[in-house]
């Protein structure tokens, strides 16, 4: 009998231990959950009406700023497309003037045609065509760049050669190889030019030649 009672008591104690452990675990979990909830409540405190209004005003102001920036970009792109839409076409059309100038130069260089009436009439016609072309270009805001006797401006001119000339200031354009053009306020193509440089005197040349011979 005593043995049976002892066994029952041990069984009861064994059953109580897991129950107590389970309860302790549940208590610790509930404490952890409470702490987490308290933290989340602290972090997500409800904003006051004034704070909500300020937040909304800030969002609205930023949205309007983005919309305004977008509108300005669109207006600029539209204006550029309207004003410079024919930029590529205008650049290609300049080849017509170049070809006229080349044809004129070839005819003038032909010994058989020199001083003939046919050459004079042909050159006159070529000049009229060129003048008409430039007039059409100018009506569309495509204008030739003035170069001769001007100071070299890298924004509009591209120096191809230097020519000795003491009658002009160094850097003055004294030859126009190819005419340059602008469209409105943009450069369509630079003028290809020759600029003056100070002539080297004979004494300087001989000294330079002597120096070169010594170096060799």
Structure confidence at residue 155 (pLDDT):
93
pLDDT, tens digit, 9 for 90 and up, residues 94-127: 888 889 988 998 888 888 888 888 889 999 999 9
- Token pair recorded at residue 107: 């005819």
Structure confidence at residue 12 (pLDDT):
47
pLDDT, tens digit, 9 for 90 and up, residues 6-59: 554 555 455 545 445 444 555 556 655 566 555 555 555 676 877 778 888 888
pLDDT band of residue 204 (cuts 50, 70, 90) is: low
With a pLDDT cut of 70, the percent of the chain lying above it is: 67
Q: HEC profile for the chain?
A: CHHHHHHHHHHHHHHHHHHHHHHHHHHHHHHHHHHHHHHHHHHCCCCCHHHHHHHHHHHHHHHHHHHHHHHHHHHHHHHHHHHHCCHHHHHHHHHHHHHHHHHHHHHHHCCCCCCCHHHHHHHHHHHHHHHHHHHHHHHCCEEECCCCCCECCCCCEEEEEEEECCCCCCCEEEEEEECCEEECCEEEECEEEEEEECCCCHHHHHHHHHHHHHHC
Structure confidence at residue 190 (pLDDT):
95
Of the candidate ranges 85-89, 192-196, 203-207, the one whose mean pLDDT is the lowest: 203-207
Q: Model's pTM, two decimal places? A: 0.54
Domain ranges of the chain: 144-216
Q: How far apart, in whole angstroms, are the C-alpha atoms of residue 141 and residue 103? A: 26
State CA 185 to chain mean position distance.
Answer: 16
140 Cβ contact list (under 8 Å, min separation 6): 86, 90, 183
Architecture of domain 144-216: Roll (2.30)
pLDDT, tens digit, 9 for 90 and up, residues 67-80: 888 777 777 766 66
pLDDT, tens digit, 9 for 90 and up, residues 130-154: 899 889 888 888 899 999 999 999 9
Structure confidence at residue 3 (pLDDT):
47
pLDDT, tens digit, 9 for 90 and up, residues 159-169: 999 999 888 88
């Amino acid at each position: 009998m005593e043995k049976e009672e002892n066994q029952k008591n041990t069984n009861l104690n064994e059953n109580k231990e897991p129950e107590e452990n389970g309860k302790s675990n549940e208590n610790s979990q509930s404490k952890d959950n409470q702490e987490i909830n308290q933290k989340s409540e602290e972090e997500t405190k409800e904003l006051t009406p004034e704070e909500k209004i300020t937040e909304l005003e800030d969002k609205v102001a930023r949205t309007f700023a983005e919309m305004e920036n977008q509108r300005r970009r669109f207006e600029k792109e539209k204006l550029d497309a309207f004003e410079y839409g024919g930029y590529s076409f205008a650049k290609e059309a300049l080849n017509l003037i170049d070809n006229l100038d080349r044809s004129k130069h070839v005819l003038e260089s032909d010994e058989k045609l020199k001083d003939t009436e046919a050459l004079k009439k042909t050159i006159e016609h070529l000049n009229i065509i060129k003048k008409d072309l430039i007039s059409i270009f100018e009506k569309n805001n495509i204008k030739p760049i003035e170069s001769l006797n001007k100071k070299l401006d890298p924004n509009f001119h591209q120096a191809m050669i230097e020519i000795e000339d003491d009658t002009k200031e160094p850097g003055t354009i004294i030859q126009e190889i190819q005419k340059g053009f602008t469209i409105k306020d943009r450069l369509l193509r630079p003028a290809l030019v020759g600029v003056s440089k100070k002539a080297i005197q004979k004494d300087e040349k001989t000294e330079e030649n002597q120096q070169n011979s010594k170096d060799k």
